[in-house]
Amino acid sequence: MSIETAVLVRRNAWTLPNGDETLAAYAAAVRAMRERDADNPTSWAYQAAMHGTSAEPPEPLWNGCQHGSWFFLPWHRMYVYFFERIVRAAVQETGGPADWALPFWDYGAGGVQATLPLAFRDSPGGDNPLFVAERDPRVNSGRGAIPLSAGSPAAALERPLFIGRTQFGGDVTRVGQFWRSPGVLEQTPHNILHGLVGGDDGLMSNPLTAALDPIFWLHHANIDRIWFDWAGEPPHADPSDSRWTDQTFSFFDEAGQQVQLTGAEIGDISGQLGYTYESAPTSGAPTSRPEAVTMSTPNPPDPEQAEMVGASEQPTELAGAPADVTVPIDRATVESLAGGGNAPEALSERHVYLNLEDIEGERNPGTAYGIYVNLPEGASAAQAASHHVGNLSFFGIEQLREPRGDEQAHGLRYTVDISDLARELAAQGSWNEDALHVTFRPIEPVDPEAPEEEQHAVPESLSEHSPVQVGRVSVFYG
Ligand code: C2O
């Protein structure tokens, strides 16, 4: 069999057959790569620094990661692809399988699969290369699982378009490390996983250290798999804009040689890059509104063009406990948008966006927040699930204080399309035309045995953390 022409299969780390060597071979390769000189591009430290590092002076191709941008998905696909080739070469040198491929961690499948794969936990001898102490201790021990509301790709997979801030892949930006236009997949599950695994101050919580954790790569294989799955579902399509398809990014291959790829060269993973995935993402049960209304307009309006109808007056501080904010809505603006008609009519034809901006903090606390709209007082966890519109997480918050994109940034920004929920509430007569009520509930690792509905409950033990501020919450009609 010729290795050059075979398509390698990336498999689920939790369901590898007994006696499978994939993870042991990865561990041996990680150990070997850690022993290489730091200025060798195929060393563990160099590969991680290509994502991000605070080390000075930077070596060639360091600090290359693309975040908050439509380049997030292609850059990380290329990065993981070349990393996998480097690992495979190290696996072969250490006597492992010639067809080694990177496994993925399908935390969105829920249950035991939402806990850290066993091979990454502490081992009795204490010398497991896949274990790092700098993770949330609950996740690291397997006591805490990623809740489905954070790990499920369901909301991302429902987005009809690639390009856009409330769409699958993020909005148009130039090349640069940290922008403020992530797509839905980048937010959930990507960003939120980083914080939940890294916890307060762990490696995964900060882009400048994340790729030093061996689980980083299995997380990104999973994100790449979700993209592969979404793109294979007509009429979904990757961007055809030449600013995306012709954009070149540079990496190192297993020989330590600089190599380049463009967006046009990576869309067909088996044909162009020689790998595929053994199974499509399991999205668990849909986490938001079980009877989810299908997208009403195939080409939703650009949130940038939408009109603001209300904004919060005070910043909201998040420090580990639930928090609420009321956004007064200006009736006159809503009515003028409806061309003099009444507000419910305005709603049925329009897209409603919730915009969170000027999100600032010293560092990523790890804890993320579920965002709920018009959540009734004393709602059960199951009711809460139907008011859940997205998650707020803080991966990259340190970098946005001194961004490496060339945008003058003021913290993170996050926009959610809440049109479907707004229409449902209006149909039930429970849409308040004068105000929108937004609730933030902390998301922490959960008991892996907890029933799914309970995953929307307020966590029992709240852990206080260094505060994060949401400067303004506003509502836009598009
Ligand atoms: Cu560039 Cu998961 O990060």
pLDDT tens per residue, range 268-288: 999 999 999 997 666 554 444
Query: Nearest C-alpha to atom 3 of ligand 1 is from which residue?
Result: 207
The predicted structure's pLDDT at residue 431: 84
Statement: residue 418 has pLDDT above 50: yes
Cβ–ligand 1 distance for 194 under 6 Å, the answer yes
> What does the pLDDT look like over 39-89, one tens digit per residue?
999 999 999 999 999 999 999 999 999 999 999 999 999 999 999 999 999
298 neighbors 107 (Cβ within 8 angstroms) = no
Task: Pick 416 or 455 by higher pLDDT.
Answer: 416
Cβ–ligand 1 distance for 207 under 6 Å, the answer yes
340-361 mean pLDDT:
77
Which atom of ligand 1 is nearest to 65's Cα? 1
The predicted structure's pLDDT at residue 449: 87
Q: Average pLDDT over the chain, rounded to whole?
A: 89
Cβ–ligand 1 distance for 67 under 6 Å, the answer yes
Statement: residue 404 has pLDDT above 70: no
The predicted structure's pLDDT at residue 446: 92
Statement: residue 355 has pLDDT above 70: yes
Which atom of ligand 1 is nearest to 219's Cα? 2
Query: Nearest C-alpha to atom 1 of ligand 1 is from which residue?
Result: 65
Statement: residue 340 has pLDDT above 60: no
Which atom of ligand 1 is nearest to 193's Cα? 2
Cα 317 to ligand 1 centre (Å): 26
Confidence band, pLDDT 50/70/90 cuts, at residue 460: low
Share of the chain above pLDDT 90, in %: 73
Cβ–ligand 1 distance for 77 under 6 Å, the answer no
Instruction: Please state the three-class secondary structure of the chain as a single string.
Output: CCCCCCCEEECECCCCCCCCCHHHHHHHHHHHHHHCCCCCCCCHHHHHHHHCCCCCCCCCCCCCCCECCCCHHHHHHHHHHHHHHHHHHHHHHCCCCCCCCCCECCHHHCHHHHCCCHHHCCCCCCCCCCCCCCCCHHHHHCCCECCHHHHCCHHHHCCCCCEECCCCCECCCCCCCECCCCCHHHHHHHHHHHHHHHCCCCHHHCCCCHHHCCHHHHHHHHHHHHHHHHHCCCCCCCCCCHHHHCCEEEEECCCCCEEEEEHHHCCCHHHHHCEEECCCCCCCCCCCCCCCCCCCCCCCCCHHHCEEEEECCCCEEECCCCEEEEEECCHHHHHHHCCCCCHHHHHHHCCEEEEEEEEEECCCCCCEEEEEECCCCCCCHHHHHCCEEEEECCCCCCHHHCCCCCCCCCCEEEEEECHHHHHHHHHCCCCCCCEEEEEEEEECCECCCCCHHHHHCCCCCCCCCCCEEEEEEEEEEC
**Reported pTM:** 0.92
Cβ–ligand 1 distance for 51 under 6 Å, the answer yes
Cβ–ligand 1 distance for 190 under 6 Å, the answer yes
CB neighbours of residue 48 within 10 Å: 21
Cα 236 to ligand 1 centre (Å): 23
Cα 107 to ligand 1 centre (Å): 16
Nearest to 176 by CA among 66, 70, 95, 333: 66
Cα 475 to ligand 1 centre (Å): 29
Which atom of ligand 1 is nearest to 79's Cα? 1
Statement: residue 302 has pLDDT above 50: yes
Confidence band, pLDDT 50/70/90 cuts, at residue 289: very low
Which atom of ligand 1 is nearest to 51's Cα? 1
Cα 424 to ligand 1 centre (Å): 35
Statement: residue 300 has pLDDT above 90: no
> What does the pLDDT look like over 189-217, one tens digit per residue?
999 999 999 999 899 999 999 999 999 99
